[in-house]
């Protein structure tokens, strides 16, 4: 089918695209053609499919591997007075649709670099988390691997936590065993940090670990790093984001972590997520009328946040560093169910724009760097536990 034919025969185009997309995402096979066309309607160019100009695969690869491309994505672009889907996202998906139907882009190339989410109804860039550098950090291969049960989710349009937890049960069980051995070997009190993407299951796994340790008679507490954020307006005025120590009450964070690992009670800032303000000023003094969060000493102190061990001066204080990871397509299915269906948390197009933008940026600034320095990585999609050679030696000895 030539690109000229696309303008003359749009129904034939959608039929051919429908068949190609069943290969890209097997969940498309759960749709009827008319349902597929419902989703496609938003992507149809005003002047027809033959108006779409195709870039070379090399040019597209360069673009979607560029931080600048994702920095430029707008989360709240206004169209007809409402938040709409950002144009670069639409343009990328249009090119991939046309390239697939005309044969300019192979199914293999598209599938290697992109995945298609049915509810978003657009393509997103695939992140390769276990790079050669990350694999080398873990000695070249997983410590242990199980059946990849998340594969059964491929046809689903969204995903609830019960099914997600069940699919991860073997891996989580091994992770619990290894975490206990590592804590015992390194001694308590100990700071235990788990980094993980949104909807990767990080919060739930921390709750389950906490319950597991408490049942064994250990005293457990947690520190939420976001409580150390400075006022949102001050961060925005200074042009900083939430991943660096410049965004935090850093000296207070460092001293609090040192104190609690010595068995002392600490008082940390309290961050109000509604109005975006901290209980402390930039000089790290408690503001009038505000109250800190008081945390009693414990044997195991969980640190929760996106960047728990990226700050060089803080990392040595942390006794166990873990990245709990789930591939982006699965996380997106979880977010549809959790954040949109249950929480009804976001405007639809805000949600779509933000995930497209943030999955790449967060991988680059948070998760890939932490995978390169952590003790253990729990890859739920790959059903694999990765540990460093040093940790492997400890686990095998115990």
pLDDT digits (tens, 9 = 90+) for 193-235: 999 999 999 989 999 999 999 999 999 999 988 899 999 888 8
178 domain residue, yes or no = yes
Residue 384 belongs to domain spanning: 132-219+298-397
Mean pLDDT calculated for residue range 13-26: 96
Task: Report the sign of the C-alpha dihedral through residues 255, 261, 264, 265, in that order.
Answer: positive
211 in the same domain as 107: no
Mean pLDDT score across all residues of the chain: 93
Nearest of 209, 170, 158, 72 to residue 335 by alpha carbon: 158
Tell whether 149 and 51 lie within a shared domain.
no
Which residue, of 125, 160, 180, is where some domain finishes? 125
Whether residue 190 is predicted with pLDDT greater than 60 in this model: the reply is: yes
Q: Which of 92, 109, 125 is the last residue of a domain?
A: 125
Whether residue 240 is predicted with pLDDT greater than 70 in this model: the reply is no
Spatial distance between the Cα atoms of 387 and 137, rounded to a whole number of angstroms:
9
Band of residue 16 on the pLDDT scale cut at 50, 70, 90: very high
Kindly state whether residues 96 and 119 are assigned to the same domain.
Answer: yes
H helices of 216-265, in order, are 232-237, 250-260
Average pLDDT, stretch 3-22? 83
**Domain co-membership, 93 together with 44:** yes
Average pLDDT for residues 151-159, to the nearest whole number? 97
pLDDT in tens, 127-152: 999 999 999 999 999 999 999 999 99
Are 24 and 143 in a shared domain? no
Could you tell me the pLDDT band of residue 8, with boundaries at 50, 70 and 90?
low
Domain limit, last residue, from 98, 125, 152 = 125
pLDDT given for residue 243 in this prediction: 54
pLDDT tens digits, 367-390: 999 999 999 999 999 999 999 999
Tell me the CA distances in angstroms from 183 to 75, 133, 193, 196, 394, one per residue in order. 41, 26, 12, 20, 10
Element holding 320 (H helix, E strand) = strand 320-325
Report phi then psi at 231, rounded to 5: -55, 140
For residues 301-310, average pLDDT:
87
CB 383 within 8 A of CB 150: yes
């Amino acid at each position: 089918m030539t690109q000229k034919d696309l303008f003359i025969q749009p129904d034939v185009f959608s039929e051919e695209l429908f068949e190609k997309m069943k290969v890209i995402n097997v969940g498309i096979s759960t749709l009827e053609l008319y349902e597929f066309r419902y989703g496609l309607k938003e992507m149809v160019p005003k002047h027809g499919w033959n108006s779409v100009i195709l870039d070379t695969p090399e040019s597209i690869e360069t673009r979607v591997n560029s931080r600048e491309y994702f920095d430029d994505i707008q989360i709240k672009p206004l169209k007809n007075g409402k938040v709409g889907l950002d144009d670069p996202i639409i343009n990328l998906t249009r090119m991939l649709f046309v390239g697939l139907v005309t044969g300019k882009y192979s199914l293999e190339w598209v599938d290697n670099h992109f995945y298609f989410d049915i509810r978003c109804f657009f393509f997103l860039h695939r992140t390769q988390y276990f790079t050669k550098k990350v694999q080398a950090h873990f000695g070249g291969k997983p410590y242990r691997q199980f059946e990849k049960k998340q594969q059964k989710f491929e046809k689903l349009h969204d995903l609830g936590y019960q099914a997600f937890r069940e699919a991860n049960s073997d891996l989580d069980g091994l992770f619990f065993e290894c975490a206990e051995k590592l804590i015992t070997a390194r001694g308590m009190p100990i700071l235990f940090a788990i980094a993980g993407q949104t909807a990767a299951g990080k919060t739930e796994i921390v709750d389950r670990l906490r319950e597991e340790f408490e049942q064994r008679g250990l005293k457990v507490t947690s520190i939420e790093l976001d409580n150390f954020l400075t006022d949102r307006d001050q961060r925005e005025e200074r042009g900083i984001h939430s991943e660096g120590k410049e965004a935090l009450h850093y000296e207070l964070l460092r001293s609090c972590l040192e104190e609690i690992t010595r068995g002392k009670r600490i008082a940390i800032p309290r961050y109000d997520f509604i109005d975006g303000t901290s209980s402390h000023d930039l000089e790290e003094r408690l503001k009038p009328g505000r109250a800190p969060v008081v945390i009693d000493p414990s044997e195991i102190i969980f640190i929760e946040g996106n960047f728990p061990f990226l700050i060089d001066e803080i990392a040595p204080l942390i006794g166990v560093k873990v990245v709990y990871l789930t591939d982006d397509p699965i996380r997106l299915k979880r977010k549809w169910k959790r954040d949109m269906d249950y929480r009804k948390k976001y405007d639809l197009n805000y949600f779509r724009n933000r995930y497209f933008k943030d999955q790449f940026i967060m991988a680059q600034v948070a998760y890939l760097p932490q995978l390169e320095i952590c003790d253990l990585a729990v890859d739920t999609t790959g059903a694999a536990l990765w540990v460093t050679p040093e940790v492997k030696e400890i686990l095998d000895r115990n």
